[in-house]
Amino acid sequence: MTYAYFPGCTLKTKAVDLDRWGRESMEALGITLEELPQWQCCGAVYPLAKDEIASRLSAVRALMAARDQGTPLVTLCSACHHVIKRANCDIAEDETFRSRANAYLSPETPYSGEAQVLHYLEVLRDVVGFDNLSRQVKNPLTGVKIGAYYGCLLLRPSRQMAFDDPENPTILEDFLRAIGAQPVIYAQRNECCGGYVTLENQGFARSRAAAVADNAAAQGAQMLTTACPLCLYNLQQGGSLKTVYFTELLAQALGLKEGAL
């Protein structure tokens, strides 16, 4: 099985571990992630303004390419997923945006949201299946207490993202169970890490990350895992717990990645 894949800028540079182990693990599970040719940066933050058209077009281009290839578009970075998924919702629901985007890009077949956007975790859950995944685990992470850190972008706004329960998500915990680890549930797992404000106001961002990590640690977590490069950065800067990408854990469990946690 082959899916179109949108890696995003950060996964090509700072977050190569997220990307590399993600692709290799998926390959081992029988799914090839084929990078979209000539993808462009999604823009990292979703433009919330109705009249911002141009800044949403790169996402629309990626969506159109996936539509034309006839496969779902798989994303891995939380920010890319957020931007692309919401652009897809908007083009399906906002008539003004749809007509203006189509007028601007003038594709052969007008685009109105036909492509399916899947996050890597959704592919693991719905295509591979967590039961099936757990059977393929070679090095179960038995006994490791891990706090799943969702952050904001995968979950909210839930009406558009439709990813998981925004206040009580389970997908990362189910994933951790599948690879043999022990998920730790803590309330701050869906609170902000400080996001891009870290640029201007490092102290504040660090206090946010600390609140997240402290809560996880208090509930018994030994480490944190995330799908977002910026979350990882902030948690490493301000948090007290080791933080890794979930694809690293996956690769380790599947026996692809060597080394200790």
Partner 1 sequence: MQRIGVFVCWCGSNIAATVDVEKVARVLSQEPGVVYSTDYQYMCSQAGQEMIQEAIREHRLTGVVICSCSPRMHEATFRKTVEKAGLNPYLLEIANIREHCSWIHKDKLTATEKAVILGRAAIAKVQLNAPLTAGKSPVTKRALVIGGGIAGIQTALDIAEAGFPVDIVEKKPTIGGKMTQIDKTFPTLDCAACILTPKMVDAAQNENIDILSYAQVEKIQGFVGNFTVTIRKKARYVDENKCTGCGLCTEKCPQKKIPNEFNLGLDNRRAIYIPFAQAVPKVATIDPNHCAMLQKGKCGVCAKVCTAGAIDYKQQDQLITREYGAIVAATGFEPISMDKFDEFAYSQSPDVVTSLEFERLMNAAGPTGGTLLRPSDGTHPHTLVFVQCVGSRCDGGEKGKSYCSKICCMYTAKHAMLTREKYPDTEVYVFYIDVRTPGKSFDEFYRRAVEEYGVHYIKGMVGKVTPQDGKLKVQASDLLGGRQLHIDADMVILAAAIEPDKSARPLATMLTASMDTNDFFTEAHPKLRPVESPTAGVFLSGACQGPKDIPETVAQASAAAAKVIGLLVKDSLTCNPCTAQPDELMCNGCSSCEKVCPYGAITYADKPFRGPNRTTRIRRVAQVNPAVCQGCGACTVACPSGAMDLLGFSNKQIMAEVDAICR
Partner 2 sequence: MTDWSSRVQEISGVNPRKCMKCGKCTAACPAYDQMEYHPHQFVDMVQTGRVEELMASKGIYTCLSCFACVERCPRNVQPSSIIEAVRLAVIRRQGGNHRKPDEIPALLNEELPQQAITSALRKYSKGG
Binding site for partner 2 (CB under 8 A): 8-10, 13-15, 41, 43-52, 55, 77, 79, 152, 155-158, 166-167, 191-192, 194-201, 204, 208, 229-230, 232-233, 236-237
218 binds, among partner 1, partner 2, none (CB under 5 to 8 A by kind): partner 1
135 binds, among partner 1, partner 2, none (CB under 5 to 8 A by kind): none
Chain centroid to Cα 215, Å, comes to: 22
Q: Which burial class, exposed, middle or buried, applies to 168 when counting CB atoms under 10 A from its CB (0-12, 13-18, 19+)?
A: exposed
The pattern of x and - marking residues 221 through 260 that bind partner 1 according to CB under 8 A reads ----------------------------------------
> Measured between alpha carbons, how far is 13 from 116 in angstroms, rounded to an integer?
26
Using DSSP, state whether 28 is helix, strand or coil.
helix
Q: Which of residues 195-224 bind partner 1 (CB under 8 A)?
A: 214-215, 218-219
Nearest-CA neighbor of 222 among 140, 145, 142? 145
Report in angstroms how near the CB of residue 178 gets to partner 2 at its nearest: 27
Of the two residues 102 and 237, which places its CB atom closer to partner 2 in the complex? 237
Query: Quick check: 44 binds partner 1 (CB under 8 A)?
Result: no
214 binds, among partner 2, partner 1, none (CB under 5 to 8 A by kind): partner 1
Q: Tell me how many helices (H) and strands (E) the chain has.
A: 12, 8
Q: Which of 188, 225, 243, 252 binds partner 1 (CB under 8 A)?
A: 188
The H or E element that residue 188 is part of is: none
Q: Which residue has the tokens 């809560």?
A: 215
Using DSSP, state whether 17 is helix, strand or coil.
helix
